[in-house]
Structure 1
Amino acid sequence: MIDVAPFAWPIEHVDTPRRPAVPDAEFARMRAPELARIAAARAVDTGSGGWRQGFFWPAPGRLSGRFGAQRFYRGGEAGAYHSGLDLAGGAGAPVTAPADGVVVLATPVPFTLEGRLVIIDHGMGLNSAFLHLSAIDVREGEAVRRGQRIGAIGASGRVTGPHLHWAVKWRGARVDPATLIDPAAPPR
């Protein structure tokens, strides 16, 4: 049984203006094929058993952005709710698989928002996405083990500095990655 309870999501104030938007038609033209690739990757069920494992932290570093937080930019402009965890481990720090799985998307050519992106299917509809990488060390279709290096922290895509954005979905629903961490996992 799962208990659902209210939670006081954090508010974050970011001392930077929001970036100017790309013209709608141009952005939509660039974004549509990227979103299609992401959706197709997240729909893949490889049969991996990684979902059974307690997850490890995928990167070292300070937790610089929390799941569910809403960001307000300089000038008070509200941003979207944060859909993952941000780990500021420094440019080039290793990123590792938090649990066993199969790489279902690896984008050496950066996407407009996500930059260099890796998505791992952990099975049973559970997948992890790793955004803004500076390097990708795995390829699509590759089976990975918990703790295996998959890339490096970077600042690709739409970011204000180097960090790893780790997002988790289960059957299409966003999940706080911190809820999957094994209490005995090595520290960040």
Structure 2
Amino acid sequence: MISYRVAPFLLLIISACVPQSAPLDSAGDVSQAEVVQPVRAPLPAATAAPTAPVPARAAVFTFAGELTQGGWIRGEAPAGAVRVTMDGVPVSLDGQGRFFAAFDRDAGPSATLDAVLADGRTVRSPLAVASRDWNIERINVARRPSGASEAFLRVRRPELSAIGAARSRVTDATGWQQDFIWPVKGRISGRFGSQRIYRGEPGSYHTGIDITSGTSGTPYVAPADGVVVLAVDDFSLEGKLLILDHGNGLNSAFLHSSRLYVTEGETVRQGQHIGDIGSSGRATGPHLHWGLKWNHARLDPLLFTGPMG
């Protein structure tokens, strides 16, 4: 497998720090802010050993990644941060103040990172999120009624409940810190975000990326370290479904497998063989559907791996 690194990282340093005597508004926000222009530099690596010296953190947010719909950022909170949110949603910090956050396929043009410091000050960093031109196909026919039968819903509801519970599990996985690799090489037969619009009525967009090798049984591997939070054989739509938690709210789902090689609760490493491509569930042919989510945001796997090469 080829590991694609986003390098050089675009390191954005945006400061909303002011002297401690700066006035705060009623919400605890700083009333004065300074924005520092982006610079290019590698993101510092995490310190694995607990006894290793930890570099001093900056007084501002530092991060790198893909500031676009379906994209992600990874970085460090300002020194002294005790709580971080993005648009009001809590963002987890590890012991070194590192964080991961991401932007939904339909994210708006801006987002805001806020850090509350131990001394009560607030650091606020506005982000500009680039829009994307999705592959939209306009069909001049009416959309077919999509109402599901009650018999199907009786089967589907507990499946959706199990998927939701798995995605909400919190583990100690640290794969979110890694540069992701492709789980398998092959032809991309379906791209993230593509959508059909039927006489003005939008259908559901494609929530992941489809990769086909042409045959069933082709092995695929873990794109990053993780903990298996769901491994099932016979869901109505997904077939054999595997979900890996990568930590900090980030998880991968692999659909339509012909065989799974890991079980729930197991820790897996990047590059480990975890399943084989298949056409189980509702699939028209053998392929791997790989979907990524951060909390409730759906993400583009291509922005984690780069071109397949």
Same fold (TM over 0.5): yes
Length, aligned pairs only: 179
- Describe the superposition over 1:103-132 as per-residue Cα deviations: whole angstroms up to 9, x where unpaired: 000002x10111100000000000000000
- Corresponding position: 1:44 with 2:169: yes
- Aligned residue among 260, 271, 274 for 1:150: 274
Query: Would the alpha carbon gap of residues 22 and 107 (structure 1) be closer, same or farther in structure 2, given more than 3 Å must change?
Result: farther
Match of 1:93 among 204, 218, 228: 218
Equivalent position SS for 2:235 = coil
C-alpha distance in structure 1 between counterparts of 2:137 and 2:186, whole Å: 18
SS at match of 1:92: coil
Q: Which amino acid aligns with 1:97?
A: A
Whether the aligned pair in 2 keeps the contact of 1:71 and 1:82 (CA below 8 Å) is no
Q: CA deviation at 1:11?
A: 3.2
Distance in 2 separating the partners of 1:19 and 1:104: 35
Q: Which digits, 9 at most, give the CA deviation of each residue in 1:34-70, with x for residues without a partner? A: 0010000000111111000010001121011000001
CA distance in 2: counterparts of 1:104 and 1:160, whole angstroms? 27
Q: How does 1:98-117 map to 2 (within 5 A)?
A: 98-108=223-233, 110-117=234-241
1:135–1:21 Cα change, 3 Å: farther
One-letter code aligned to 1:176: D
Residue in 2 that maps onto 1:174: 298
Q: 1:107 to 1:61 in 2, by over 3 A?
A: same
Larger Rg: 2
Q: Could you say which residue in structure 1 is the equivalent of 2:247?
A: 123
**CA shift at 1:80, angstroms?**
1.7
CA 1:113–1:69 in structure 2 vs 1: closer, same or farther (change >3 Å)? Answer: same
CA distance in 1, matches of 2:263, 2:148: 33
> Which of 238, 260, 264 is residue 140 of structure 1 equivalent to?
264
Is contact 1:166–1:177 with CA below 8 Å preserved after alignment?
A: yes
Give me the whole-angstrom Cα distance separating, in 2, the residues matched to 1:87 and 1:23: 28
What does residue 191 of structure 2 align with?
A: 66
Measure how far apart 1:22 and its partner are: 8.4
> What letter is aligned with 1:36?
S
Q: With CA pairs under 8 Å and 6+ residues apart, which has the higher RCO, 1 or 2? A: 1
- Structure 2 distance, partners of 1:78, 1:161, is 25
Cα gap change, 1:132 to 1:146, in 2 (>3 Å): same
Change (3 A) 1:94 1:44: same
CA distance, structure 2, for counterparts of residue 103 and residue 134 of structure 1: 17
Which is helix-richer, 1 or 2? 1
Runs of 4+ displaced beyond 3 Å: 18-23
- Identical amino acids, percent of aligned pairs: 56
Preserved contact between residue 60 and residue 93 of structure 1 (Cα < 8 Å): no
Give structure 1 stretches of 5+ with no counterpart.
Answer: none
Q: Secondary structure at the match of 1:80?
A: coil
Higher mean C-alpha displacement, 23-32 vs 145-154: 23-32
Name stretches of at least 5 consecutive residues in structure 2 with no aligned partner: 1-11, 13-66, 68-127
SS of 1:81's equivalent in the other structure is: coil
Distance in 1 between residues matched to 2:274 and 2:170, nearest whole Å: 19
Tell me the equivalent position of 2:286. Answer: 162
Question: TM-score if structure 2 supplies the norm length?
Answer: 0.53
2:153 to 28, 37, 42: 28
Structure 2: how far apart are the matches of 1:79 and 1:120? 27
In structure 2, the CA distance between the partners of 1:138 and 1:94, relative to structure 1 (3 Å rule), is: same
Structure 1 Cα separation of the partners of residues 282 and 264 of structure 2? 23
Cα distance change on mapping 1:35 and 1:97 into 2, 3 Å: same
- 1:79 Cα deviation (Å)? 4.0
Residue 182 of structure 2 is aligned with which of 36, 45, 57? 57
